[in-house]
Amino acid sequence: MLRVGVTGGIGSGKSTVARRLAERGAVVIDADQVAREIMEPGEPVLEEVRTRFGDGVIRPDGTLDRAGLAGIVFTDPGALAALDAITGPAIGRRVARRRSEVPPGTVSVFDMPLLVERGLWVHEHVAVVVEAALETRVHRLVDQRGLDEQDARNRIAAQASDAERRAACDIVLTNDGTTSELADAVDTLWRDRLAPWNDNLVHSRPSRRPDRGAVVAPRSDWGERGARLVARVAHALRDVSAVTEVEHIGSTAVPHLPAKDVLDLQVGVRDLEIADSPAFTTAMREAGLVRFAHLTRDSPQPPDLDPDGWPKRVYGSTDPLSIAHVHVRRTGSPGWRLALLFRDWLTHEVEGRDSYAAEKSRLLAMDDRTSAYAAAKEPWFAAALPRAEAWATATSWSPR
């Protein structure tokens, strides 16, 4: 099942987005609702809150004085951190149980205000942030929720900034317009990305890049997208002890270089057999990646080397709008080293990068089919390898 995290600052409209996704067929777990449940009378968490913040945050009927607690924590970062330390683990356990009960094949949405602050976005296949201008949010909180204006501003200031959320999230929905406009945006997201993505996951079907016109001008978001995917894959593989590192490689990891809009990652392992194990394949599937069974080796460089010395495994993303390939290679193997060498050489040597960009343009002018283009690049790599190796020697480069 596809896991979708939805977040946004207070007053942004994230709950409206979550409700619309529920109308489209998703099962929504609301972190705020769970937080209310664990604070009901008789719950252990409520007693921990009473112990930390005093009897003054408990009403005579034994229920939590939410406004009183908010007045304490939203003006004191230390108090807010203490509250999060009490409630966070309990919320996490209950959310995990609820998500485990979602029917197979159903999109699971986690509506979570602190998705970014707590680093929980790495658990999700995709994170959506809902944004609105500061004054719009303040206006909503005052007019629709009856908050004092300063209280509204304090609550907003206590949360992550828009820039912090954007860095961690894959999709931005702007909610400065009407409710109808926001609903249309959610419907488009569901139709074009979330529903097909979930279908790909259910059927273990990796997304495919187009065979023509796949190479595009350098995109400013490749670095951030690559970093998010690295974090998700590393998180998914955290319990696989044979994994040594996860890195963004390939042309999209090189600034200012035209490339196929395909993220390439490399997972280093101590033994390639681990990539065929159930633990590894299950972890990769948790990250939304499925195996390309027919891809089992790299093209040797130089080409006259024994191809049996260049084995690998390749996994593909199931996201229909953000294609990624994850190459699994033994740490220290020739293919593993070469991927890191070319990335670093092209990043630091403008002449090499410009030469590669010119070769890409020349080949695409003759035949822009992806299949033909990939094969035609091999002679350039063979000719460039001595230059890359000379740079490595001159700079004392070694793979990380």
In total, the chain counts a number of residues equal to: 400
- Give Cα 350 to chain centroid, integer Å: 30
Check whether 51 is labelled as a binding-site residue.
no
Burial class (CB in 10 A: 0-12, 13-18, 19+), 369: middle
Looking at residue 297, what DSSP letter applies?
Answer: B
Check whether 260 is labelled as a binding-site residue.
no
Place of tokens 């023509």: 212
| β partners of residue 291 | 315
- For residue 147, which phi and psi values (nearest 5 degrees)? -80, 150
Alpha helices in the chain (DSSP H): 14-24, 31-37, 44-53, 66-73, 77-100, 134-145, 149-157, 162-168, 179-189, 195-202, 222-236, 278-286, 334-348, 350-366, 370-376, 378-395
Place of tokens 């092209």: 346
Check whether 15 is labelled as a binding-site residue.
yes
Q: Is the dihedral angle over the CA atoms 195, 201, 202, 203 positive or is it negative? A: positive
Contact present, 268 and 330 (Cβ < 8 Å): yes
Check whether 352 is labelled as a binding-site residue.
no
Check whether 14 is labelled as a binding-site residue.
yes
Contact present, 280 and 237 (Cβ < 8 Å): yes
Max Cα–Cα distance, the chain, nearest Å:
82
Determine the Cα–Cα distance for residues 324 and 317; give it in Å rounded to an integer: 5
Check whether 11 is labelled as a binding-site residue.
yes
> Residues comprising the binding site for ATP?
11-16
> Residues comprising the binding site?
11-16
